Amino acid sequence: MAENKVKFLPNEIEVSCDSGTNLLELAADAGVELKAVCGGAGSCGKCQVIVKEGEVNKLDQGNLSPDKLSQGYVLACKTEITSDVVIEIPPESRLSKHQILVEDDEDFLTEEELQIAEEVELSPIYKRLELELSEPSLVDNASDLERLYTEINRDIELPPLITPLSVLNELADHLRENDWKTQVSLTALNGNYEVSELISPDDENPDYGIAVDIGTTTLALDLVDLSTGQTVVSEGAYNKQANYGDDVIGRINFVTENEGGLERLHQAVIKSINELIDKAINKQGIEYSDIKTAVFAGNTTMSHLFLGIDPNNIRLDPYIPTANFIPPLKANELGINIKEEAWIHYLPGVASFVGGDITAGVLATELSNQESITLFIDIGTNGELVLGNQDWLMTCSCSAGPAFEGGGIEYGMRAMSGAIEYFGIDEETYEIKYSTIDDVPPIGICGSGLINLIATLNEVGIISRSGKFNEDLEHGRLRDREYEKEFLLVPKEEAGINEDIVITENDIKNLLRSKGAIYAGIRMMLKNMSLTEEFIEQVLVAGGFGNYINLDDAKKIGLLPDLPADRFKFVGNTSLKGAKKSLLSQEAFEQVNEIAKKMTYLELSAEDQSHAFTDEFVSAQFLPHTDLSLFPSVAG
Amino acid sequence: MAENKVKFLPNEIEVSCDSGTNLLELAADAGVELKAVCGGAGSCGKCQVIVKEGEVNKLDQGNLSPDKLSQGYVLACKTEITSDVVIEIPPESRLSKHQILVEDDEDFLTEEELQIAEEVELSPIYKRLELELSEPSLVDNASDLERLYTEINRDIELPPLITPLSVLNELADHLRENDWKTQVSLTALNGNYEVSELISPDDENPDYGIAVDIGTTTLALDLVDLSTGQTVVSEGAYNKQANYGDDVIGRINFVTENEGGLERLHQAVIKSINELIDKAINKQGIEYSDIKTAVFAGNTTMSHLFLGIDPNNIRLDPYIPTANFIPPLKANELGINIKEEAWIHYLPGVASFVGGDITAGVLATELSNQESITLFIDIGTNGELVLGNQDWLMTCSCSAGPAFEGGGIEYGMRAMSGAIEYFGIDEETYEIKYSTIDDVPPIGICGSGLINLIATLNEVGIISRSGKFNEDLEHGRLRDREYEKEFLLVPKEEAGINEDIVITENDIKNLLRSKGAIYAGIRMMLKNMSLTEEFIEQVLVAGGFGNYINLDDAKKIGLLPDLPADRFKFVGNTSLKGAKKSLLSQEAFEQVNEIAKKMTYLELSAEDQSHAFTDEFVSAQFLPHTDLSLFPSVAG
């Protein structure tokens, strides 16, 4: 096994590896983040790289064109290193930084969102008490621990107290050295209170906690001062798991198909989190040990991978997770770099495809405390919905697929630099104007751009309500390709990549499937509650994606229900907000568990639902819908 | 630091060490068990060894006589190795095997004791449930963990269930591989039930637990089949801490005065326990992992050293332990070689000198469930007493000192081979007959021998009621020595050591102090409850010591109250029995916590007690007492 030198361009990252090493995995280890929607299966074709120098062993190169092959392109996931090589990562294969929604991006936050963040009454799940104990004597000779317990319970009788050995070990000296004055911190734990730490009586340093949203694609972290409830640092980053698959199914496939895959994905997210923590503590000038507790929220696959539990059954009928309610764990048990003995909490989920990110969303938005019937939509890779109010809560997941994140769309991409987010098409000439994120030459189309594009293509008559290209249209932009047609959006000369940017009939079909799945999910929940769209008094659109989409476009394509604009709110990253709220409020922490227990999960593939769902799904794949009466403002 | 070779005789144990290594510590590390009553302070003079070859560095050799020094004797605790040496351990310095009271020594058990051991209704603190779960489906899609919880709670609603990550990790595969049948084990823990282990549905191997009495001098372990409640192996051994001090104060001194002393003592007891476990599992032919839980009982100093907590404040006025109620701990956290994730419980104590061994004793004897007023006496190094019945419990510790274990008595020793346990003295000639354990030449006198000796010396008029030698007595056996008199018991020629075995006035004084302290403690408890001796309906004498003493002798010297013989029971090792009972019965486990909470601790050195105690103590140092009306059968 000879050692080979590998240089990645353009960033000139150099690493060594044994012969036979998989190029995609090597890149991931080297911190070179490649797109790999299919998790290294060779099917998505997104991880294309160019071998500039040296020889490699090419396995099945899938649908890579002979033209590209001749230019030195290979699929990284199907390439093994056999010599010293130089590898260029073309822009379209790169996962580059983009706006990850973190809470202090006030530009992106509406007033309602800021209110949501403020609404917590401060009673953090890790709380500090100042105590002054009576000094023991021959006639008052309770043990140090009993004396401490008595004082903790003086004002209010708490649940039974427990104390770990590490604290017991320090207790005697701590009390005597500090003249029987102390500060102790308490953590609520399985119905008990743990004496988590002994703190010098004159210590005035704040305790910190972190709230973390573990998204399939991105992570967001808030470093929170537990004494004030304020977020002092917000950080966002890619989930390093993205190297092993774009969506949760891709990740699960990676685990199933690769020996050690579970450990790789587990370590990838832990590493992602630890890097965020490093950034946050450096900005704030504090130590790992100053972070005393953490609350995580994420979907169910993310919870399993975070814990290192095999997520395989999530993917297999009947889609059963190992656990929805995750027991608290020690930071050092998971390798999360905060105080070693700190407790880590993961917010509870409801089902395999409705996780702690959604219960966090319900908590953050107060959905379950309101009289009005509210629809909560989180359009990410999957598409989770909640419908309900203070009396009832229903939830479903609608397998929307990753189309709105660029998955399955030939020139689809995430909302990052170079992504087209808006199209203007001249009704007569079909001349196209567009704008891109960061105003750089376009390399693809992000979700909001795709929604806008479909709405516009339909509006100007290029595609029909069923998503087919207008048969009668004759224009140079509409071109034949193998098996289907494509429409030219940006010619190679204008693009930031060496290709024409086009949209294909198949792309449109995928987008209509995605939006159709979401709308059909909404319809199914309404139906199960014997309600119709008009009963929805409020629509909350969560997730980073929501902040960029144009409401009118979304209604035009039939993604969102045709309700007055004032019923919609874009509520941002409610997963992160819910995690933070749980961190800052014991009551909220308990409430989110109640929410998870209370939610009725509607399994759309169950026998009593699947026929109706199929009907709804078929109808919803039209623009905006087969039943135009559902979209009066669009139809009218 | 040159390497030196050290050979210990007579067992020819050879080790190497750096120059400057302390000989006592080296011996301990080499498994050569030496007496060291004072914990290596150089004051007790018990760790005498003979340097047969080579040079050593002698520090202050204390009261070692010039004669002995010239013969090559040194105090091991005050000797450093500086060259290759051969060290002989004389018999009187050796800790040799002796009868350690373990439960299957049926010879030593009365019928009452055997009954006590049987009385438990089996409901172990680690229990196994056989379960058959319904298979999940799209319409019954609870997570694996919720499904398991539902089944566990089907027949009886348990406290909230918790599950460690290690079990979560196995859950999905375990359930599916076993076709949704399983056995789970549950452990009660801080008001929750933990799902501790997933077991194959057809596994019929029994679960085992261990009950361990951690005595200051000896350890006793019962390996118990939790499915039957039967002890399958009993093992006993010395506490390896004995190398560092004979009594708890010696141990605490060792911790305070030696860097790393706490860790040494902690490791010594852990090692002692692990060796017992090794013996037990080898006899039973099982693995460490078959032992699923453990209950320990011992005094408060032992609990601190077991946990690695500094016991220093136990020794210092006002004698405050760090904790009486010890939280459950994981076996691997302490390094106890049973199932790694097994929970370890240490029975709760009451005060610095009334520990879990005493609450275990109250539990085992059912003292707190009876109408009749019972006195419980555990005469070990210390002397702990409990007085009470089902309505009230009082306890005290009476600093008896280690005289009855041979401490502070020139030729005192523990009850091991060569110890004199009985004397017969001719009233006229003062000829002495004696018997020794194992019928070998005598090397010292054990506790029961000492009680018998004092009673006999007084009876034949050699000592007065105040413990002084009869001034008028002229006999070759009564000899002058520096500052005091001694009485020859066994001449050198008959002895197993190269010395006369004698008893000195000072020895007698120490014994009278010891017995006086215990009797004064009994009087103080009675006084505080406004009771007198006659109200004591039952006297339970616990501990290995109790099994060898002669009841009449004990009354004659005023150690035990002068009550009819049928009120006395020798109840054996109730610390071990209580631990076993707690292991086998969740109810008993909870009861022992109630016992510890309920017991009133009488601090004899507190201001409101100390004058009265001093009076009682002085009066009780006579034979049998200044107030002969308390001992009518003796006086009569």
Contact B607 A139 (CB under 8 A): yes
Mean pLDDT of the A19-24 span: 90
Query: ipTM of this model?
Result: 0.84
B600-601 and B393-397: which strand pairing? Answer: parallel
Question: CB of A569 within 8 A of CB of A110?
Answer: yes
pLDDT given at position B2? 62
Confidence at residue B544, expressed as pLDDT on a 0 to 100 scale: 66
Window from A432-436, B120-124, B134-138, B254-258 with minimum mean pLDDT: B120-124
Q: If we measure between CA atoms, which residue out of A516, A565, A269, A482 comes closest to residue A383? A: A516
Interface test with A, best of B135, B138, B590 (most A CBs within 10 A): B138
**Beta carbons of A300 and A215 less than 8 angstroms apart:** no
Between helices B586-598 and B356-365, what is the axis angle to 10°?
120
Q: So what's the pLDDT on residue B37? A: 62
Query: Among A82-91, A477-486, B357-366, B590-599, which is the least confidently predicted range?
Result: A82-91
CB A434 within 8 A of CB A392: no
pLDDT band at A105; cut points 50, 70, 90:
very low
Range name among A406-415, B117-126, B239-248, B595-604 with the lowest pLDDT average: B117-126
Tokens of A615: 């009907």
Sign (positive or negative) of CA dihedral B572, B575, B576, B579: positive
Residue B437: HSE in the Cβ half-sphere, 13 Å Cα cutoff: 20
pLDDT for res B64: 81
Q: Quick check: A250 pLDDT over 80?
A: yes
Indicate if the pLDDT at residue A432 is higher than 80.
yes
Confidence of residue A547 (pLDDT cuts 50, 70, 90): low
pLDDT at A113 over 70: no
Region A377-381: what's the mean pLDDT? 84
Tell me how far apart the terminal alpha carbons of chain B are, to the nearest angstrom. 69
Distance from CA of A330 to the nearest CA of B (A): 10
Separation CA A560–CA A422 (nearest Å): 19
Residue B622 to residue B625: CA distance in whole angstroms: 4
Q: Is the pLDDT confidence value at A97 over 50?
A: no
Q: Residue A460 in 3-state DSSP?
A: coil
Predicted local confidence at residue B574, as pLDDT = 94
Nearest to A137 among B145, B176, B318 (CB): B318
Report the alpha-carbon angle A372-A522-A305, nearest 5. Answer: 100
B interface test, pick of A147, A162, A168 with most B CB neighbours within 10 Å: A168
Tell me whether residue B398 is exposed, middle or buried, using C-beta atoms within 10 angstroms of its C-beta: 0 to 12, 13 to 18, 19 or more: buried
**One-letter amino acid for residue B68 of the chain:** K
What does the pLDDT look like over B152-182, one tens digit per residue? 999 877 888 999 999 999 999 999 999 999 9
What the block records as the tokens of A203 is 């210590």
- Taking Cα atoms as reference points, which of A212, A463, A160 lies closest to residue A357? A212
* Mean predicted lDDT score pLDDT of chain B: 90
A126 in Cβ contact with A293 (< 8 Å): yes
Nearest CB partner across the interface for B320, out of A139, A141, A164: A141
pLDDT in tens, A206-216: 999 999 999 99
- Give the residue carrying structure tokens 């949203």: A213
For A146, nearest residue in chain B (alpha carbons): B323
Strands B3-9 vs B85-88: parallel, antiparallel or unpaired:
parallel
Cα of A319 to nearest chain B Cα, Å: 7
A300–chain B nearest CA distance, Å: 11
B97 CB-near residues (< 8 Å, 6+ apart): B238, B416, B417
Across the interface, whether the CB atoms of A327 and B606 are under 8 A apart is answered: no
Beta bridge partners of A223: A210, A233
Count the Cβ atoms, other than its own, within 10 Å of residue B420.
Answer: 26
pLDDT in tens, B409-462: 999 988 888 999 999 999 999 999 999 988 899 999 999 999 999 999 999 999
Reported as a pLDDT band with limits 50, 70 and 90, residue B367 is very high
Rounded to a whole number of angstroms, the CA Rg of chain B reads 27
Q: What is the mean pLDDT of residues A219-234?
A: 94
The DSSP secondary-structure symbol of B606 reads: S
Is the per-residue pLDDT at A300 higher than 50? yes
Give the gap in angstroms from C-alpha A147 to the nearest C-alpha of chain B. Answer: 9
The predicted-structure confidence for A135-145, as pLDDT tens digits, reads as follows 999 999 999 99
**Length of chain A measured in residues:** 636
User: Region B266-289: what's the mean pLDDT?
Assistant: 97
Ramachandran region, residue A483 (left: φ > 0; alpha: ψ -120 to 50; beta: rest): left
- The per-residue pLDDT for range B456-490, each reduced to its tens digit, is 999 999 999 999 999 898 899 999 998 899 999 99
Lowest-pLDDT choice from A45-49, A165-169, A396-400, B97-101: B97-101
CA distance A415 to A547: 11
Q: Which of the residue ranges A54-63, A235-244, A572-581 would you say has the lowest mean pLDDT? A: A54-63
Residues 6+ apart with CB under 8 A from A435: A420, A421, A422
Region B311-322 average pLDDT: 96
pLDDT at A99 over 50: no
Confidence (pLDDT) at B546: 64
pLDDT at B576 over 50: yes
| Contact status, residue B617 vs residue B517, Cβ threshold 8 Å | yes
Mean pLDDT (chain A) is: 90
Chain B residue nearest residue A322, CA to CA? B144
Q: How far apart are CA B288 and CA B386, in angstroms?
A: 36
pLDDT score recorded for residue B381: 72
Amino acid B144 reads: D
**Overall average pLDDT of the A158-177 stretch:** 94
Name chain B contacts of A171, Cβ cutoff 8 Å.
Answer: 322-323
Helix and strand counts by DSSP (H, E) for chain A: 18, 29
The dihedral of CA A241, A244, A250, A253: what is its sign?
A: negative
DSSP string, A341-394: T-EEEE---SBTTB-HHHHHHHHHHTGGG-SS-EEEEE-SSS-EEEEE-SS-EE
CB contact under 8 A, A171 and B322: yes
- Closest to A143 (Cβ–Cβ): which among B141, B171, B323? B323
pTM: 0.83
pLDDT band at B114 (very low <50, low <70, confident <90, very high): very low
Q: What is the pLDDT of residue A70?
A: 86
